[in-house]
Structure 1
Amino acid sequence: MLVYVRFLLISLLYITLILAKVTKRDTLERNSVLGCGFYFSKIQNWDDQNSLSTQFYGSVCSYRPAFQSWISCISDSINQFSRNENNVTFNSSLVEVQKTCGLIQPEIKNVTLDEYYRILHNASHFIRNDFPADKNDGLINYPIKANNSYINPIIIAYHNYSNNIDRSNFSVYFYYLYFFICFFIASIVNYLNHANSLQYLNQWTISCKIKGFLIKCLYKGHHTSYVNILGDKLIALLPSRLETSILTNYIILNGIILAFGYNVDPTNSLFRTKSQQMLRLVADRAGILAFGNLPIIFLFGARNNMLMTLTDFDFATFISLHKWVGRIMILHSILHSSCYLCYSILAGSFKFSELELYYKCGILAMILLLLLFCLSLGYIRKNHYELFLYTHIALAVVFMAACWKHVENLGWKNWLIISIVMWIVERLARVYNILKNGGVLNSKLYLVQVRHDINDTLIRVSINRKKCNMHLRPGQYYFAYFMHPLIFWQSHPFTVIDLKEKNKIIIVLKPKGGASKVLYESLLRTTGILDIKVALEGPYGHSAPIHHSDNILLFAAGTGIPGPLFHAMDLSSRLGEHSNKKVKLVIIIRDSVILNAFRDELLILRNKSILIEIYLTRKPSSKHVASRNSLDLSPYENTSLIARAVTLEDLKTFAEVSFGRPNIAGIVESCVEPKKSLSILSCGAPQFVDFLRDITSSIIIEHPESNIDYYEEFQRW
């Protein structure tokens, strides 16, 4: 069911393209209506003192002789520029007249086609070719006929202007085409990878060099770790080289669309100067492109995104694309606002425009967009994530409402509709995801600590999965909701370990701030064990196809143990005793304290064909070492308080234990064998995975004869 929901999200994007066809502006009936209306609205000596409106089209919409003149001009222009077989084009012009006058003279919306023809017929009897040029010569209270030499350039100018609008609308198609090509290629590569068919491509040296190049961090070993731009206050996450390649081409595409393809009117009939004309054309295109990005931004920010399944790109990759496409949209919006502001000032219409609701809503939308950007900066996300999350949602909702009012009578609401529907469907998919997993589940929380120090403390969550039949693979993660009165609405992602034999799902978390600190303080008020209800949304993510490789190297650093450990457990049961595959699990931790939370899972590997290397970067002191009985076979559920440490003697019975920091490059090099494949999987602290990413990239390039793949399970956004 969830697969169909994800498929629906993708389908909504392409329904957008179908809806966009309705917005074609460059039609003869529309250009004739606007061109003739523009001409007759410029006439200042209509005898329309009782006109209902002072707006630009007020006279032609509300004053009868002016309206008759307008309709007569429309008919003449259509007959001049087209065959108008069976009056089809003229009939269509009624719709455009109703749109133009809908807000000024609502009664015109009720004009029927027969009445439309009667107005034209009546005008033909009283229409005059000669009329006073200004108020000094007299007022006009009868229908008049305009000279074609004045009308035709205006209609042609509207054709050029409308053609630019249509080109802008059509240009948005290139966005979707570009990402379709990117994700189609990624899907093919992903399919071949899971089918173990990429080995044929890896026979080519250039293929290995491209892979190594794309894996490497973009700048000085920074991808999952923040880079300081201006001290600790202005920090950012950099995209990977693969993400940068996708985004760079997307930025170039946007630059080309913005810079080229304008159909400039040489007569400049609609604007006072050429500069005003260009400002208006650029403002319109930038605004349309900004709206065209909205569905893409909403899709990339969705957890239930089928593209993740198709491409094996992780959620962090799509969040990176979400952020950068959003920034491109902000630049479009700034360009749209700036050009339109300059245009309205130069054209002398600013004082009038600022009173209009659509103009005020446009200003509000721009302010909200800038607030969204400022409250999404790295410092806010890192130190005040909940503030970022809830302000992001609230500001996005108000922003979409402001955008709706901004274009309510102009068009382009289809981009807003599709984005809103996509957001609602995705939220409903989350609810369905929770219900599919059994709704609210029973769980126990255990405090794992040796010293009463939050820095040396972990919380082990054991969730009863008897209610549901979850299909969980190593490397996948859940968003967990803890039903605590203070944090029940919050969700946080956790990589899990699935113990099917015990009907348990294990989560281990480190108390920091926010929700985890609330749980920690609740455990301190008890004996270290707490019963709590938990809802699980997921599983999300993918499982790396490392089982195809001849050699498998798993790196786990710090609290990043669950993913690699679950992979090792899965491989130990899948490969069997007679497998020729070599599997090594490398665990890098400060001391053995953290292994308390995973001792039962580690014991599963005791007599398996998995080589385990443990590196303790901090030497133990006597007061921190507990008894040897700390690593026994008794489950956590039979203990009253988890406050024990794993001794070195226990570790050495099934693992190779060393002190100090390991030679990561040496470990990787030792697993590389000519003509044999190697899969490297990592999870740990940001600096560690970035360091390993760069090392692996270099080794892939240096050893094109070996098929080396790198997978990263740590995600940060």
Structure 2
Amino acid sequence: MATSVVVALLVLVLVLGVSAQVGSGVIGFGISLYQDLCCQACHDSLSSLWLTCTTFSNATASSMPGMSGMSNMPGMSMPMAMTSPECYASNTPWLQTMAFCIQQHCTADGYPADKQAECFSNQAVGGARSPTLEQSMPFIAPTIELAANATWLNITSLVNSEVYSSTYGSEGEFRRSEYLHSTYALTLYLVVIGGCLVCGVLTQLAAAFPSIHRRLQASRFWPKLREYIFLPGLVGSRRLEPLPGQVGYVPRRTISIFIAIYITLNVVFSAIGFGSFQPNINFKSKGFELCEYVGNRTGILSLVNAGLAILFAGRNNLLIALTGWSLTTFITLHRWVARIATVQAIAHSVVYTLAYWQPGYDGFSAYVAKVAEPFYYWGIIATICFSLAMGVAILPMRINFYETFLALHIVLVAAALAACWYHIVPHFTLAFGYQTWLYICFAFWAFDRTARLLRIAMFNHIGGSQATLEAIPESKVMQLTVYPRSMRGFGPGQHTFLYFPALGMFWQSHPFSVSGWKTRTSPSFKVIAGVPPTGTNKTETKNNSDIVVLSNGVVDQGPMSVSFLIHPHNGITARLQQRLASSTNPTMDITVYTEGPYAGHRAKHLPLLNADTVLCIVGGIGITGVLGYIQEYATALHNADEISQRDAGIMNRTKRFILAWSAREISLIEYVRQKYLDGAAGIESSFWCTDATVSKLPFKKDGRYEVDMTTTGVILGRMHVETLVKSCLEKECRTAVLVCGPGRMADEVTKYVVNGVKDGFIVDLIEESFAW
């Protein structure tokens, strides 16, 4: 966690520095829209009138770019008029009419005299110090009111009351609507990030003071919350196993509740608080006005959710370290928040399309004319890119073509954000603060990418880190040993992202769980077989496994290294296997880059801090996610006489550590036993091999082989998870169950852990999982 914090702080300083230069807030929070509404209404009621010093050109409004096809609209065929700031500052009718209007209407609104003088300077004379409001006041109050359709201002006049009322009401309603957009958008950020921060602070307190967690476990309400809310799936026990047809995953109940609340919040915020003022100076009908407000609201909320989706997808998301939630949990939130953002972007586009079929507009012809404007078609492009990015993220695409999916996903999201920029900034400039929501998206993305580069620089030699790839005999699995520049922060429950520039596509990286790590001096061990530890139930030992208990010594381990077990799938891991297979040797040297350790945060390991018994249930290549915990436990046990309990690591209270591993390849089991478990002290190990071709054995009615392979100490058949979990639960004993394996196994383990909680046992669950 220390490495993550150092990197994050460096990047945060950079991002805040950039934000300070480009950010100015949003409407209502840093940007005041129509702050002096009465004064603004006076200006806008008069600003379209021509003065005696107004100049004219031969061009017409309809000849301007983007105005073609609109010559039939009122005023579009008239000559272009320009009134300069000097003209306004020297024209007596303008100055006196503006001054009288401001004094009359702003005084009625309770606007103080000094503010009236300030807004007169800003609105009437373009910020000049003179003439002032007091100097411009007419000696005799005007009595002639301008006509509603007046075009000239030749004498000091009263502003037309209907025009002023319409202008004041229209701008006031627009200001209220924009303020609500910003309020609801910021509320989303506060609810999500604030909620994570609260959970994180509580988790950090529990990690710093483990007694808090123990008291919660001993309480009456906490086990009920875990039984019904925190642990189970939404319906049944399915959580990490994909739904039939690979349509997706069902998040666990806690996450599902959060997602449901968040969806509801977005629906409510997209649908409430809309008003209308008619007659309106900006919109010809109430329908168009409401479409404008709904479109702006959904557009802003879409950008907010896009920012949160980018935050949750980041590897260097600080919320992971704070809360202890896994990257898989945040990726789940990323997917749902991104879906909401896309739906809101689509709603934004649909509503703005429907607006041109409202009364007072020409339907298709008006829409076609609008689509020809750059800001409009850039918005359409952004919506299409968001929709395609969501489309390529379907589960079958992620599972079968992950590298293609990832590249397309990143390109489409980047294109969508770029299109949003051209949709917003050239049209609205920076005055409304809409670009701020984009700045947040850019900042989250820049934060993560910059942190990755810093990590690469921190953990690698110039030119990369040397690594050795080794084939495991009679197995598809390979071992990769990397020799990084720094070993800072490596520990149990971690993974890293590796780059293989020699295989092409040097920009691609893939996550691999850390199987083990070696400093220059590490504990080494000798195997003592057939001695069950104190407290082991002999009947369960006979029925479930041959227990192997290990003892230790110390040797010089050579250069620092980090090890990984890699099971090839498609893409880069398949190319690694092909490269190794084409080599004449069973090992191959290769250059890699590592981003250093991720995950393994103390907040996630909270259950281990209090556990008397740790049960690791592992399936297949999931062993790579558990070996780090075995090394941590064995090292702490070896150094027990030399260090205090406080410094003994994350399992300083643990008296019993049980490993139950089921794998198809007997060769993999034997390799791990010899290469990794020989370095683990005091571990109770049980092994199952599910490959029925290994030996011809009787098949029992329950579908499990129960006969030991005497030469290997491995049970043939399927692990009986329920029996295993129940055998390790004891009253007044705190048990932590760590599961790492296929989704179906993880869901099964979760089911029996929930049952254990229901039966009154003190049992926690830690999942080391990766869901596509």
Q: TM-score range by the shorter chain?
A: 0.7 to 0.9
Q: Structure 1 residue aligned with 2:269, among 257, 262, 265?
A: 257
Match of 2:173 in 1: 160
Match of 1:148 in 2: 161
Q: Is the 8 A contact 1:29 1:78 kept in 2?
A: no
Which range moved further: 495-504 or 672-681?
495-504
Match of 2:456 in 1: 434
Match of 1:536 in 2: 594
Residue type at the aligned position of 2:487: N
Residue type at the aligned position of 1:279: C
Match of 1:191 in 2: 204
Residue type at the aligned position of 2:423: H
Match of 2:371 in 1: 354
- 1:323-359 Cα deviation digits (max 9, x unpaired): 1111111222222222222223324253443232211
Match of 1:3 in 2: 5
Match of 1:19 in 2: 25
Q: Is the 8 A contact 2:45 2:159 kept in 1?
A: no
Match of 1:640 in 2: none
Q: Structure 1 residue aligned with 2:563, among 506, 530, 545?
A: 506
SS of alignment partner, residue 532 of structure 1? strand
Whether 1:561 aligns to 2:623 is: yes
SS of alignment partner, residue 82 of structure 1? helix
Match of 1:363 in 2: 380
Q: Is the 8 A contact 1:553 1:585 kept in 2?
A: yes
Q: How far did residue 203 of structure 1 move?
A: 1.8
Whether 1:302 aligns to 2:375 is: no
Q: Structure 2 residue aligned with 1:594, among 668, 672, 676?
A: 668
Name the CA distance, whole Å, in 2 between partners of 1:24 and 1:61: 32
- 1:570-628 Cα deviation digits (max 9, x unpaired): 2122135898712110001113122254244444257x3211111112245479xxxxx
Name the CA distance, whole Å, in 2 between partners of 1:405 and 1:31: 33
1:701-716 maps to which residues of 2 (within 5 A)? Answer: 702-704=758-760, 706-716=761-771
Residue type at the aligned position of 2:741: G
1:611–1:85: structure 2 CA closer, same or farther, 3 Å change rule?
Answer: same
Q: How far did residue 491 of structure 1 move?
A: 0.6
Residue type at the aligned position of 1:581: K
Match of 2:724 in 1: 667
SS of alignment partner, residue 502 of structure 2? coil
Q: How far did residue 31 of structure 1 move?
A: 6.5
Q: Is the 8 A contact 1:475 1:495 kept in 2?
A: yes
Whether 1:480 aligns to 2:480 is: no
Name the CA distance, whole Å, in 2 between partners of 1:210 and 1:335: 37
Q: Structure 1 residue aligned with 2:470, among 438, 446, 449?
A: 446
Whether 1:523 aligns to 2:580 is: yes
1:444–1:200: structure 2 CA closer, same or farther, 3 Å change rule?
Answer: same
Q: Is the 8 A contact 1:28 1:89 kept in 2?
A: no
Between Structure 1 and Structure 2, how many residues are aligned?
A: 659
Q: Is the 8 A contact 2:459 2:595 kept in 1?
A: yes
Name the CA distance, whole Å, in 2 between partners of 1:63 and 1:263: 35
Q: Is the 8 A contact 1:475 1:563 kept in 2?
A: yes
Q: How far did residue 377 of structure 1 move?
A: 1.7
Name the CA distance, whole Å, in 2 between partners of 1:241 and 1:8: 36
Name the CA distance, whole Å, in 2 between partners of 1:116 and 1:376: 62
Q: How far did residue 405 of structure 1 move?
A: 1.6
Name the CA distance, whole Å, in 2 between partners of 1:674 and 1:588: 27
Q: Is the 8 A contact 1:300 1:322 kept in 2?
A: yes
SS of alignment partner, residue 299 of structure 1? helix
Q: Structure 1 residue aligned with 2:238, among 208, 215, 222?
A: 222
Match of 1:458 in 2: 477
Q: Is the 8 A contact 2:48 2:151 kept in 1?
A: no
Which range moved further: 503-512 or 23-32?
23-32
Name the CA distance, whole Å, in 1 between partners of 2:694 and 2:309: 52
Name the CA distance, whole Å, in 2 between partners of 1:70 and 1:345: 39
1:94–1:237: structure 2 CA closer, same or farther, 3 Å change rule?
Answer: farther
Residue type at the aligned position of 1:337: S
1:485–1:590: structure 2 CA closer, same or farther, 3 Å change rule?
Answer: closer
Match of 2:333 in 1: 321
Q: How far did residue 475 of structure 1 move?
A: 0.6
Residue type at the aligned position of 1:703: D
Which range moved further: 667-676 or 281-290?
281-290
- 1:555-583 Cα deviation digits (max 9, x unpaired): 11100002222212221221358987121
- 1:211-253 Cα deviation digits (max 9, x unpaired): 133221224543323213xx45xx2133222222222222222
Match of 1:604 in 2: 678
Q: How far did residue 703 of structure 1 move?
A: 2.8
Match of 2:226 in 1: 211
Q: How far did residue 535 of structure 1 move?
A: 1.0
Q: How far did residue 33 of structure 1 move?
A: 3.7
Q: How far did residue 191 of structure 1 move?
A: 2.1
Aligned CA-pair RMSD: 3.7
Q: Is the 8 A contact 2:312 2:331 kept in 1?
A: yes
- 1:294-337 Cα deviation digits (max 9, x unpaired): 33222111111111111001111111111111111122222222
Residue type at the aligned position of 1:590: R
Match of 1:584 in 2: 658
Name the CA distance, whole Å, in 2 between partners of 1:391 and 1:74: 56
Residue type at the aligned position of 1:491: S
Tell me, which stretches of 5 or more residues in structure 2 are unaligned?
68-73, 523-556, 642-652, 697-707
Match of 1:686 in 2: 743
Bigger proportion of residues as helix = 1
1:428–1:297: structure 2 CA closer, same or farther, 3 Å change rule?
Answer: same
1:381-396 maps to which residues of 2 (within 5 A)? Answer: 381-396=398-413
1:90–1:53: structure 2 CA closer, same or farther, 3 Å change rule?
Answer: farther
Q: Is the 8 A contact 1:40 1:70 kept in 2?
A: no
Q: How far did residue 36 of structure 1 move?
A: 5.1
Which range moved further: 55-64 or 159-168?
55-64
Name the CA distance, whole Å, in 2 between partners of 1:388 and 1:665: 37
Q: Is the 8 A contact 1:290 1:333 kept in 2?
A: yes
Name the CA distance, whole Å, in 1 between partners of 2:320 and 2:117: 50
Tell me, which stretches of 5 or more residues in structure 1 are unaligned?
98-107, 451-455, 624-646
Residue type at the aligned position of 1:444: T
Name the CA distance, whole Å, in 1 between partners of 2:380 and 2:738: 48
Whether 1:699 aligns to 2:756 is: yes
- 1:658-692 Cα deviation digits (max 9, x unpaired): 22112201111111111211100011112211222
Q: How far did residue 464 of structure 1 move?
A: 2.0
